[in-house]
Amino acid sequence: MKRFFVLLLAATVLACQTSRQEKVVGLMTDSAMVVSAHALASQVGTDIMKRGGNAIDAAIATHFALAVVFPAAGNIGGGGFMVIRMKDGSTTTLDFREKAPAAATTEMYLDKEGNVIPELSTQGHLASGVPGSVDGMAAAHKKYGTLPWKELVQPAIDLALGGFTLSEREAAWFNEMKEDLIKYNTVTPDFLIRDLWQAGDTIKWTELGHTLELIRDQGRAGFYEGITAEHLVAEMQRGKGLITLEDLKSYASVWRDPIIANYKEYKIISMPPSSSGGVCLVQLLKSVEPFPVKDWGFNTVKTIHLMTEAERRVYADRSIYLGDPDFYTAPIKQLIEDQYNDERMSTFDPTRATPSAEVKAGVIVGYESEETTHFSIVDPQGNAVAVTTTLNGWFGSHVVVPGAGFFLNNEMDDFSAKPGVPNMFGVVGAEANKIEPNKRMLSAMTPTILEKDGRLFMVVGSPGGSTIITSVFQVILNVVEHEMGMQEAVNAKRVHAQWLPDAIIPETGALSKKDSLTLVSLGHTITPRRSIGRVDAILVLPDGKLEAGADYSRGDDAAKGF
């Protein structure tokens, strides 16, 4: 009884009156569009398509530009995933996720008593996996690129060496991480240290610019071999990290078949493991498909209760069944079947929350970083690319490679340091995602493309660690069930839930006071937060025009196109 009154009070104090916000329309273009976390990067990708490049060319150029203008998550020292749909309808995905170094061990983050050592997998040199981004871009260009590689890397070099001005958000980020930069680097990156960064200040990434010149001139080898690799390994040795020259040289991204499924009249094309995103997204859509979500409405009690119950079950499955497919055979086919998800939802009670303690992974016979970045691209020919890439935490491990000028990731935290112990995003894993040498850590990244009636319909994705999956899930429902346009769907307030912690996590203002109290009465805990995800998406309208959904309300995201 006491717990109920505490939760009731929390819901009363923290919930705000909300309603479906005023309809807005995003940037509209006739033929091509890039939506990314930074206007300069979106412009770079757009310019590439104006010069005749295709969506993959634009994605490569946008990716390298983000490594400069959005270094908190854009990167050459991290990794990610790419989903491609060509104009003829053919699809594929590219896994350029980071890998554990060859010297990694299952118990590397545990003390003598077997307890997880705080921050060891999230900060500093030991937190970094072998980067995959540069290899991924090179692999994409080799298979699909049309413009010369040098032309795709040069815009990022120009931004790095010429400099650009900081927004208020960006200045605040550099100010906030000053102490960590000093603490975790063996060589202090002085160019990032100021008494106070302010909006309008110009920043230049000179060492990064020269590293990009090597990548421009030498391709993949400009990063994984030679002086750049030597700089990275030297820093690893100074900071007692694990990455070696052989780890770098042997890294290879992997082309994989996409996760493909149907939700009503829509075809879902998404990322397979080593990302959990595609499997979990399809499971969520399958779980809610039999229910009248459209009639129930946007962010109503019935809709939020249903979504939460589905999310609990799907994240429980994720914790047990998903991992790097090169090390672990996941039951993907069974997980995305209608019958399996119907069975999982057979215990759904519309009048009562299911405590997470009562939710276990489903029985199958035979058997993220919060701070990521996503961009969506459609070219004039109708080719589409969805890319989600990350350093994991904001600015990754906070380690800048001296002489090379880029941040290293802290992706090792996405492994299960110990089965049953949550990572930095509260996500619990098990044996399938344990640390092993040369293994890719499980991700929540969910770059996704939708078709309707055999035609391109939507390109979508988000950063946000474990909230990535639910952010993409909600934006899709906002469009296909709640009949929102792309920008309206992106702007709409979001609500997240997963298996553990056992709570509904709404953005401030996402739920009305009345609805919050009703959800508490059903047995839910409400834990509001300021912001969830930063979705960047493109919707193809019936007349063929493109509408952007750029998450400018949660970041500096911007759409460009023509």
What CATH number has the domain bearing residue 98? 3.60.20.40
C-alpha to C-alpha distance for 37 and 25, rounded to whole angstroms: 18
Per-residue pLDDT band at 88 (split at 50, 70, 90): very high
Quote the domain boundaries for residue 444. 21-163+204-350+367-502+530-562
Tell me the mean pLDDT in the region 208-222: 98
pLDDT at 11: 42
Question: Residue 550: its pLDDT value, please?
Answer: 98
What's the rounded mean pLDDT across residues 100-106? 97
Question: Residue 29 has what pLDDT?
Answer: 98
Identify the band that residue 500 occupies on the pLDDT scale cut at 50, 70 and 90.
Answer: confident
The predicted pLDDT at position 331 comes to 94
pLDDT tens, position by position, 328-360: 888 999 999 999 999 999 999 999 999 988 887
Q: What is the DSSP string of 181-197?
A: HHHH-SS--GGG--S--
Residue 170 lies in a domain: no
Cα–chain center distance at 169? 20
> Is residue 186 situated within a structural domain?
no
- Tracing tokens 């001005």 back to the chain, one arrives at 165
Question: What is the model's pLDDT at position 1?
Answer: 36
Whether 205 has a pLDDT exceeding 70, the answer reads yes
Q: Which of 351-365, 446-460, 480-494 has the lowest mean pLDDT?
A: 351-365
Question: Average pLDDT for residues 121-146, to the nearest whole number?
Answer: 97
Alpha helices in 15-109 (DSSP H): 39-50, 55-69
The stretch 17-35 carries a mean pLDDT of 82
Residues ≥6 apart with Cβ < 8 Å to 474: 307, 492, 494, 495
pLDDT at residue number 501: 87
Confidence of residue 426 (pLDDT cuts 50, 70, 90): low
pLDDT attached to residue 428: 55
Domain count for the chain: 1
**Contact indicator for 318, 278 with CB cutoff of 8 Å:** no
Q: In angstroms, rounded to a whole number, what is the distance separating the alpha carbons of residues 143 and 413?
A: 31
Within 8 A by CB and 6+ apart from 524, the residues are 305, 308, 353, 503, 504
Whether pTM exceeds 0.85: yes
pLDDT digits (tens, 9 = 90+) for 385-407: 999 999 999 999 999 999 999 99
- Domain-embedded: residue 138: yes
Q: pLDDT higher for 89 or 417?
A: 89
* 259 within a domain of the structure (yes/no): yes
Residue 56 covered by a domain: yes
235 in a domain, yes or no? yes
pLDDT of residue 430: 62
Reported confidence tier of residue 309, pLDDT bands at 50, 70, 90: very high
Does the pLDDT value for residue 369 go beyond 80? no
The mean pLDDT value for 484-508 works out to: 95
- Mean pLDDT score of the chain, rounded to an integer? 92
Q: Which residues are catalytic?
A: 372
Condensed to tens digits (0 to 9), the pLDDT of residues 160-179 reads 999 999 999 999 999 999 99
**Is the pLDDT assigned to residue 23 strictly greater than 90?**
no
Q: Taking 70 as the threshold, does the pLDDT of residue 481 lie above it? A: yes
Burial class (CB in 10 A: 0-12, 13-18, 19+), 340: buried
Q: Are 499 and 283 in contact (CB under 8 A)?
A: no
Residue 22 pLDDT > 70 = no
Express as a percent the part of the chain with pLDDT over 70. Answer: 92
- For residue 2, pLDDT over 90 is answered with no
The tokens for 49 are 């398509």
Strands (E), 323-454: 372-378, 384-390, 448-452
Q: Is residue 199 part of a domain?
A: no
The secondary element (H helix, E strand) that includes residue 344 is helix 338-344
Band (368; pLDDT cuts 50, 70, 90): very low
Helix (H) or strand (E) holding 547: strand 546-550
pLDDT at 9 over 50: no
Whether residue 10 lies inside any domain: the answer is no
